[in-house]
């Protein structure tokens, strides 16, 4: 496996994107607004990639906000109660989310897709209820609690440092996903996704692989959740909201399900579109446009925006012949 091949246009594009990501604060200026948008965008790229990783195993989730929030709560409680630096507790947040993810996965691996979607959705509702009722003495209930920032604001240019930290984390995570998918695990996951019965016949036991996918996805989602909270500096149970479960789905589908680049492209395009429509003063129409885009892409471009160049090439070829 070669990390960089100058003759592969996809590699060139990726490297161009990377260079852009590193230079962008210098190009557009390191002001608060741009950095806020960029950091949130990166966090959602991580989140959407984690959600998308689950679909590689043929599973899906409608309640990933559960892991997003659990990661956030675990990491911030750890940071507040033990006074550990956020960068350390981040990992703890991920691990906690992964643990719960595997437990949920245990019930889910035997379920059909629709059931799985329901269980995950319901799980997010249950967790939020728990956090604000029975667990309120620890979690602060609806009031939430303040959390230290990823980089203390007393540092000069702390937001810039935060941006590069999140960028680095995002790159590492995507490289790990890339490695996993090209390894034998990735092949097994693909086999299970395409046809579980045949995979079984070929001697692959789907259960540990599906659990693994669930655990990894929950782990990375938990990290994304912790990052968001350490960025905001305050945690409230709104982190389990339904909209937070749906955004990674929208990003991944728009970009391209089951591709590594899909969630990245999807997050960038949809966020820019969203903020753009916002500054045009569109309110409800914004949601309608996103909804229509989603429906059109599912029907006409099932492999998402990343497949657009191929589709255009195909069309041109057809016209020529």
Partner 1 sequence: MDGTIGILSQVAFWGLYSGCIYILLATGLNLIFGVMKIVNFAHGEFLMLGTYITFFLFVISGFNPYVLLVGSIPILIIVGVIVERLCFRPILGTGKLNEIFISLGLIYIFQNLVALIWTDEWRSMRSPFADILINLGPLQLPLDYLIIITVTAMILVSLYLFLQKTALGRAIRAASQNRRGAMLMGVNVERVDMLTFGIGAGLAGAAGTLWAVSGQVFNPYMGSIPAIKGFAIIILGGLGSIPGAIIGGLAIGMVENFTAFTLGGSWKDAVSFILLIVVLVIRPTGLFGEAEE
Partner 2 sequence: MKRESVLFVFLAICLTFLLLSSGCTEQQPSGDGGEVRIGVVASMTGAASTTGKDIWQSAELAAEEINAKGGIYVKELGRSVPVRLVQGDDESTREGGQKAVSKLITQDKVDVLVGGYSSAVVSAHQAIVAEYRVPYIISGGSSTSVSHRNDIDTSYMFFHRPNTDDSGEASILFVDEVVRPALIGKFGFSEDRPLKLAVIYQDSPFGKGQLDAVKNVIAARNLRIEIIAEEPFKMGESDFRTVLTSVKAKNPDMIYSVTFLNELVPMTQQARRDVGLNTLILAIENNDDPDYYKGVGVYGDGQVMESRFSPYAVPRGSTEMATRQFLANFDKKYGGFAGMMGAATYESVYITKEAIEKAGSLDKAKVRDALATLSMPQMMEIMKGGVISFSPDFRESKFDLYVVQLAMDQASGEPRPFIVWPDNLKDREFVVPDWYSPGSS
Contact string 92-131 vs partner 1 (x = CB under 8 A): ---------------x--xxxxxx-xxx-xxx-xx--xx-
Q: Which does 126 bind (CB under 5 to 8 A by kind): partner 1, partner 2, none?
A: partner 1
Where in 285-314 is the site for partner 2 (CB under 8 A)?
A: 286-287, 289, 292-293, 296-297, 300-301, 308, 311
Say whether 145 sits in a helix, a strand or coil. strand
**Which of partner 2, partner 1, none has residue 202 at its interface (CB below 5 to 8 Å by kind)?**
none
Using CB under 8 A, which residues numbered 83 to 122 contact partner 2? none
* Tokens 């012949």 belong to residue: 321
Instruction: Establish if 40 lies at the interface with partner 2 (CB under 8 A).
Output: yes
Query: Exactly one of 276, 291, 302, 309 binds partner 2 (CB under 8 A); which one?
Result: 276
Q: Which stretch binds partner 1 (CB under 8 A): 33-41, 52-60, 85-93, 179-187?
A: 52-60
CB 251 within 8 A of CB 165: no
**Residues in region 277-306 near partner 1 by CB under 8 A:** 284-288, 290-295, 298-299, 302
Cα 182 from Cα 199, distance rounded (Å): 18
Residue with tokens 């099932």: 302
Binding mask 218-237 for partner 2 (x = CB under 8 A): ----------x---xxx-xx
Strands 145-146 and 234-235: antiparallel
**3-state DSSP percent of the chain in helix, strand and coil, to 5:** 80, 0, 20
Query: CB-based contacts of 228: which residues, under 8 Å, 6+ apart?
Result: 40, 43, 68, 72, 239
Give the residue from 48, 87, 280, 253 showing the smallest Cα distance to 165: 87
Tell me which of partner 1, partner 2, none is bound by residue 175, counting a contact when its beta carbon lies within the kind-specific cut-off of 5 to 8 angstroms: none
């Amino acid at each position: 496996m070669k990390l960089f091949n100058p003759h592969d246009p996809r590699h060139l594009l990726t490297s161009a994107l990377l260079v852009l990501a590193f230079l962008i604060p210098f190009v557009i200026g390191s002001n608060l607004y741009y950095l806020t948008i960029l950091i949130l965008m990166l966090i959602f790229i991580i989140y959407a990639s984690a959600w998308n990783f689950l679909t590689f195993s043929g599973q899906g989730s409608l309640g990933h906000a559960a892991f997003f929030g659990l990661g956030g709560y675990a990491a911030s409680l750890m940071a507040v109660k033990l006074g550990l630096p956020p960068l350390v507790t981040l990992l703890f947040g991920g691990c906690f989310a992964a643990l719960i993810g595997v437990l949920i996965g245990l019930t889910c691996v035997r379920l059909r897709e629709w059931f799985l979607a329901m269980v995950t959705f319901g799980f997010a509702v249950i967790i939020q209820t728990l956090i604000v009722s029975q667990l309120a003495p620890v979690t602060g209930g609806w009031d939430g609690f303040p959390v230290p920032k990823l980089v203390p604001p007393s540092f000069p240019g702390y937001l810039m440092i935060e941006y590069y930290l999140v960028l680095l984390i995002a790159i590492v995570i995507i490289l790990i996903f890339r490695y996993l998918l090209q390894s034998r695990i990735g092949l097994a996951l693909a086999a299970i996704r395409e046809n579980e019965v045949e995979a079984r016949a070929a001697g692959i036991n789907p259960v540990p692989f599906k659990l693994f996918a669930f655990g990894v996805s929950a782990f990375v989602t938990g990290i994304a959740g912790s990052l968001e909270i350490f960025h905001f500096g305050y945690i409230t149970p709104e982190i389990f909201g339904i909209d937070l479960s749906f955004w990674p789905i929208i990003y991944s589908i728009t970009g391209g399900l089951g591709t590594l680049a899909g969630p990245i492209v999807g997050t960038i395009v949809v966020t820019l579109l969203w903020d753009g429509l916002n500054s045009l003063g569109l309110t409800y129409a914004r949601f309608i446009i996103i909804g229509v885009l989603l429906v059109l892409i599912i029907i006409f471009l099932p492999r998402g925006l990343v497949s657009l160049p191929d589709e255009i090439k195909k069309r041109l070829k057809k016209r020529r012949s």
